Amino acid sequence: MNNNVLISVVGPTAIGKTALGVHIANYFNTEIISADSRQFFKEMSIGTAVPSPEELAAAKHHFIQHISIEDQYSVGDFEKEATAKISELFKKHEIVVMVGGSGMYVKSILEGLDDFPEIDPQIREHLNESLAQNGLQSLQEQLKKLDPEYYEKADMENPHRVIRALEICIGTGKKFSSFLNKKKQQRNFDIIEIGLTADRQKIYDRINLRVDLMMQEGLLAEAKQLYPKRQLNAMNTVGYKELFRYFDQEIELEFAISEIKKNTRRFAKRQLTWFRKNNNIHWFDYTTKPEQIMMFLSEEINALNK
């Protein structure tokens, strides 16, 4: 009988996943795997809402600020490294916690990644040139024609994702979406999935407040420091790209801040759409007392061990 359990904590941005993750890790005396793809970068801190020094001290976290914005790092790299780290942690803990709102990264650990054929690298080079010359919108329109199903459900503001889907469509002559969800990976641990949520207006209010707090904490200075690297893929991140437009004198600061709030709200909406498709997630309102969630988790773990 396998007693190892991975507890996955998901939900929209600014809902309180980090605090809950720390609480669960302390309750079960274990460690945390972060599955937030923007918190991987060591140069980005305020704008990605990296756990506070107190939270990092309260429970050991992995995959927080472990790579540079200069590094090429994919969901495939994360799956390989995180599954290895989880296996290592299971040697000393029966329970491990994973916290994050990056749907594809969470899915890579819970289910494995879909298999894609090798594609001629020149196709990607050509698409990157097109992105540089004509902007993201032309690639989005191309993908909408080639794979309308994927266009409707994926994050079209992420150029890396758009280019990845397009290179598969062009290189195989088939829709990118036709390669998805072919098979699920069998993991050698049990999984309990929980999510934090709230009504939409409350989520939006929390996001607006968080952006105001980020500005107070020095997001403008952090973005200014990163401005010379704005062409890197990692820099196409909400909270930074809007401030880069302000530095370029395209927009006023007040408007840039309102754009950060708007784009973060859109991101939260996409996160909820992604996670709500997963019927395995047990949802809790963000105001639920941690003790109630610990009771639920303990009961689920006991049921698995029977």
Q: Which two tokens stand for residue 96?
A: 């491990």
| pLDDT given at position 32 | 98
- Span 156-209, pLDDT tens digits: 888 888 999 999 999 999 999 888 876 667 899 999 999 999 999 999 999 999
Q: Which residues are annotated as a binding site for ATP?
A: 11-18
3-state secondary structure of 132: helix
Residue 85, pLDDT score: 98
Q: Annotated binding site, which residues?
A: 11-18
pLDDT at res. 1: 44
Helix (H) or strand (E) holding 123: helix 121-134
Q: Which of the given ranges, 114-123, 129-138, 258-267, has the highest pLDDT on average?
A: 258-267
Residue set of the binding site for substrate = 13-18
Among candidate residues 167, 41, 29, 39, the one with its CA nearest the CA of residue 100: 39
Q: What is the pLDDT of residues 289-302, one digit of tens each?
A: 999 999 999 999 99
- Is the model more confident about 125 or about 54? 54
> What is the band of 2 on the pLDDT scale with cuts at 50, 70, 90?
low
The residues near 290 (Cβ < 8 Å, ≥ 6 apart) are 20, 23, 27
The domain ranges of the chain are 5-113+185-305, 121-179
Q: What is the rounded average pLDDT for all residues in the chain?
A: 93
Say what the pLDDT of residue 182 is.
63
Token pair recorded at residue 202:
């409350």
User: What is the per-residue pLDDT for 306?
Assistant: 78
Global pTM reads 0.85
Residues 50-103: tens digit of each pLDDT: 999 999 999 999 999 999 999 988 888 999 999 999 999 999 999 999 999 999
Of 20, 195, 190, whose CA–CA distance to 96 is shortest? 190
The fold of the 121-179 domain, in CATH, is Histone, subunit A (1.10.20)
Which CATH class name applies to 5-113+185-305? alpha beta
pLDDT of 143 over the 90 cut: yes
For residue 256, what is the enclosing H or E element? helix 253-276
pLDDT at 290: 96
pLDDT at 8 over 60: yes
More confidently predicted of 252 and 231: 252
Q: Which long-range CB contacts under 8 A does 292-299 form with residues at least 24 apart?
A: 293/20, 293/23, 293/24, 293/194, 294/23, 294/24, 294/27, 296/194, 297/7, 297/24, 297/27, 297/28, 297/192, 297/194
Q: Tell me the mean pLDDT in the region 206-235.
A: 96
